[in-house]
Amino acid sequence: MRLHDLKPASGSKHRRKRIGRGPGSGRGGHTSTRGQKGQGSRSGSSTRPGFEGGQLPLARRLPKRGFNNKSFSVVFIPVNLDSLNHFDNGASVDESVLREAGIVNGRGDGVKILARGDLEKKLTVKATAFSAAAKAAIEEKGGVCEVVSKAEISAS
């Protein structure tokens, strides 16, 4: 057997269903596989997954019980090292400075410094969290990494 002899298993490939091409297509002609009347037969009509024709969907009929950890999750706003090159050499960078510069926006539980890109300047960076690689890269340039809590950020 050679590469040019390879073929998909019989029955695993199907031709595309060409609908709306008249009665000679073998697809019903005037209805184009949509059946007769009703919501699904109308042009532009589509229903979302799980739609039950207006009946209360199963996901809403079932009781909601138990613990969900989502409300306790911590969501950091990511900032990469290459974004920090925006600041002058020797500058002190914290969340408020990042927001003023337009690097950080939106809500979160603090800023996490990530290691994408190269840092070219010596900076003092104050953030809620650092990746290990980012911390090593900042300290390699002679900078300082200070971990601050969310409470300290909101107090200042």
3-state secondary structure 93-107: ECHHHHHHHCCCCCC
Asked whether residue 41 is assigned to any structural domain, the reply reads: no
Phi and psi, residue 26, nearest 5°: 80, 15
Q: In which domain, by residue range, is 110 found?
A: 75-155
Q: Longest C-alpha distance within the chain, in Å? A: 76
CATH number at residue 122: 3.100.10.10
Tell me which amino acid residue 35 is.
Answer: G
Tell me the pLDDT of the chain (156 aa) as tens digits: 899 999 999 999 999 988 888 888 888 788 888 888 988 888 888 899 989 989 999 999 999 888 888 888 999 999 999 999 989 999 999 999 999 999 999 999 999 999 999 999 999 999 999 999 999 999 999 999 999 987 665 555
Asked whether residue 64 is assigned to any structural domain, the reply reads: no
Asked whether residue 81 is assigned to any structural domain, the reply reads: yes
**Single pTM value for the model:** 0.57
Identify the three-state secondary structure at position 66.
Answer: coil
Q: Cα-atom radius of gyration of the chain, to the nearest Å?
A: 29
Return the sign of the alpha-carbon dihedral for residues 6, 10, 11, 15. positive
- 103: its two tokens: 């690097």
